[in-house]
Structure formats: C-alpha cells, structure tokens
Structure 1
C-alpha cells in the first residue's frame, strides 16, 4: 500500500429537513387545526481514529464526503426522519486543519477517538408548533438550516517513542529490522527508504516501545535536495531521537562529524523544536573497522562535536551492541514517563483522606548508564 501522509477533502453535512404546513381534515371534525410536523436533523460528519489504517491514500481517490439530509415533516404531526451521521476512518496521529482559515480543528491521537468536523443542519419547524390561542390556523414554518460545509487538510504524523535520523545508507532501516519485526527495504544504494516505517521493539513482558524510521536526509534537503525534509515532521512527536552515523564510510574523505553538522542544519531549518529534543548518537558499522581504529574515530568525533549526550557503537548488520542500546532506551523512556507523571497535578478525592506527603514522591526508576 502506498504511504500518503497528506490529503485534502471536502465534507458536507446533511441539511435539516423542512417543516410542514398541514391542517387536520377528517370527517365530522371541522376545523381540526394545524398538524404539520417538524423536519429531521441533518447528519453530521465525524472522523474516527482507527489503528488498522496507516495511510491517507484512500482520500486521494475519494475527496468529497456528504452526510444524509433530514427528511421534511409531514401532516398528522409526523416528524421527518433525521439524516444518518457519517463516520470517516482515519489513521491514529491525524491532524485536521480548516483549509480556508488554516485553523487546527483537532488531533486524533488515540484509537477510537472521534472528532466532529461538520455539524448537521437543524430541523425545520412545522406549523403545529406555532398554534396558540390567538393564532389558531398558523401557516408559519421554517426550512431546515443547511449543514456545515468545509474543506479540510489532513496531515498524518506518526506516533512513535523513538525516531531515527541520519544520512542515506547510515543503517537506519537495518537497525529497525534487527530490533523489531518491521521489514523495510534494505539495499546497497541511497534512498532505499522512500516513506516512514514503524517498528515495535519488545524488551520484555509488557515492556516495549515504538521506533520510527524516516527516509535519509542530505545536505540541502530544506531546499528540496533528495527527498527534502518533508518526513522530518514524523519525528516531532517522539520522546527521543537516535542519530545514526556511518563510522566507516566507503569514501575515507567523508567526515562523520561533518555529516552530523549537516543533519543538524536541516533539523534547524525544519523547526518544530527538533533540535531541542534529547538526541543520542549511534555509531553504526563498527564491524567494518578494528577496535583500535573505532576508538580513535569515536574520540575524534566526540571532540569535534563537543558531544555531551550518550553515544553508542553498534553493528546493525550482526546486532552487536543493539541489545545494550534498546535496554538503555527502554529505561530512559520509563524514566521520562515517570517524570511526566510526577509533573502532573495530584488530584485528591474528597471521599478519602489525603495521603502522606512522603507517599507522593515519584517512584525510583533506577539509574541508567549509557554504555561505551
């Protein structure tokens, strides 16, 4: 299935049904009075997040979505049938914008979450509702109001805990294949990854995280070189970034530190506060050089970048060093989640006494120590 992360659609909610003007006419009942019923409400349009959908490709072929209109009222005070609501399935992580105003209508971040994007029209009023002691034969009625119509822009941003970034052929796809069940394409030429991939890394029972692999970014991507920086948006919701670097490039003149700086420049050009995210450096392809040469290159890279964050050496091909990496990632993610939970305001129930202040301290998640 083709991966599509942007789409434009038009939604048209149903119109409200027209109110009826009618008078009761039966044998032996003179002047039966007004009995026109109300119309039915128009159907509304909702977006529903579904875990079984991972692309917006269907919206490239069906761009117009219309809900059912309400039926008109009838005599004998019969109300018209309301139009059925229309529910449109979208992937989890979809953001919805109004194209005309560029307003963010909402985000669908959990499976089963619903978002109203077009309100159905209100039903019309029949003449039976206008009768009174002074107006015994009303002919007033109201037509139903039109349903809301909108042009929407849908943008899918993948939900992942860890994001991978780096130059083409740095080994991002090889790493995600090694540590998860995802099977992105791997080949010995650049840009084998043309769209983002997600993989679930299972560390133990009830302990796992989601990792996202995006196409490689090269120098000048902000100006459209390569595949551009379009896919960097999929890293905006991650908690932590892994910056993969080829520590043994085929071209000996290529400087790994220079590659890191080029990626950082493209991240800065993209914005979305990517540079403010916690980022670990992962030196890949250590199996292609001897340990002494690796130690020298690692030390030179740390000095050139003045790198203070964790740094790892791995081989995505044979898995060397990947177990330590994913275990430390899991511990770090658990620590970040604990910090987030501790920062939330405590809600004390009025039915139970407040707990001891010492009991509200955040649990000890254990220290995490990056391995060389």
Structure 2
C-alpha cells in the first residue's frame, strides 16, 4: 500500500510528519523538488539507500544526490569543503545546483555508488526542505522514475511508476524547472560540469570563473560516473526518439518529410516542437522560451508515449542557458539518434 499525501496547496507540517516518519523508519518517500520529483531515503542508512536502487532498477555504481536543508550539513557529509563550494552555496542554494565534494566517513558507499566523492544539494522547494527538516536526516534522492525512463514532473508520473512499490508519495503539484539539477565537480581544478541542468553554466562561471565541460555531457562514453546521468541510458520513453537539429526552417521541413515517411510505413508518429503545428498522430507544443521547453520536456516524452506513438520526432534548440540541459536530455532519450540539417 502506498500512502499518497496531497500537498498541492503548499507545505502542511502535520502531513509532512507522516513522510518524515517513513524516512526515519528506513522507508521510501517520493517528494517534489523544484526540478523533478525525487525518490528519497535516509542517505546515511545503507539498507534504505539500497531499496532506492532496487525500486528503480538502478545500477549500483550510479551515485545518488544527497539533499540537505541547512548548509552546515555539508560538513557532516564531506571531508573537505573548499571556498568555491561556500561561494556557490551562498549564491545558488537553495536551488538546482549539486556540488561534488570528497566523501565524509558518515556517508555509506551505497549512497555514493562506491565513490570517494559525494554529491550534495539544497532544493528550492518548501515541501522538500520541510521533509528533510522534519525527518532530521539528509535525504538521498534520485529522480522518482524507473531507471532509464523520463523523469517525473508530476505526482501522477510517480504513481504510474511506483504505486504499490514504495511507502509514500507526496503530491506537491507540477515542478517548476522540469530538468534535474546542474552538477559541478569541485574535486578538480578547474571545476568540471558533470551534468547540465536547471542552473545555466553561464551563471556559475560568472561567480567562480572557468568551468570545464566533461565529455559525457556531449555524449562521450565513460567508465566512471561521478554524477547521475553520465554513464547509463536515461530519460527514454518506450517509443523511439529522433532529434532533428539545425536551422529552424530546415528542421521543420525535415520533420514534415519524416512524418510522411514513417506514416507511409504504417507507424504512428508523435512530434514535440516549439510552437509549430505538424500533421502527426500526436503533437506536444513545448512553448518558445528555454524555461518553458525545459519545464515541458519530460511531460512531453511521457504524454507522447502514452498516446501510443511508435516514434517521436523532437526539434533541437540552441545550447545556451537551459538549452544545454534540454539538448543533453533529448539526445540521451534518443540514444544519440540525431539528424543534423
């Protein structure tokens, strides 16, 4: 039995204590953050953390992000806290930024995927912060989806994947950002972007200077994943996804050409695009701004999948601001099936 708690109207301390009790008991609670919904457990309870991996079907070497509510908790989780970590936290926490630091002794290797580093963030969501405070535990939480599938931005998405499999789902309505947090590794010099996300790289560099971009961001294979989303297939619906990138008018022409081609083969075709109508079997208008597109990305993949299409054609966008995170997720969802025009 899964308890679903309605908190769409905002944080309710009486209700949040129900979720906090589950966390303290070593059980699993799905909860909203500003980015996507997380599947949470006590980050320092090895058995509880292992339940996350089992529920998601997640490889054990794919590290989890630990969510905190106060900066002082960083000192409990990391063995070193460099000045740049303090600067970034002061500027961007609470917010969609995860920092990677040397692991402290309290953190089990189950949480870090066997690594000597730990990923930490402070979410900008009152329900998430309330759950952490009420449970009096740092909470390890990957996205609350079956491993490899699109991340959840609504509680309904979590219900689809986990109802009857976890103890509690807290429904806080739709998430605001729509893509996961940006992950910056501060154990290297210069710092390195491991995963683009809800905080644009340009804003981070404006505060701490040059940040290198890990090759995995652009799709290069890696043997060692220091952050989620680097090594394994992610964000993919059941339908095949193809990304079409290039000058916008040529992209539109190519998508229309592909719609005709695939429909002639008897396939049902879905399109996710920025504002233009296509004569497909299903269509999702992503909006025009980077913020709208990011917020709608995973919802579009899930809804098009539910519509029963065989193939999803997705417009590419410019890799600036949140566009870098959007294109990182889209290419991964497509298994790097990209057509450039």
Question: Greater relative contact order (Cα 8 A, min sep 6): structure 1 or 2?
Answer: 2
The structure number with the bigger radius of gyration is: 1
TM-score normalised by the shorter chain: which range applies? Answer: under 0.3
Structure 1 or 2: more helix by fraction: 2
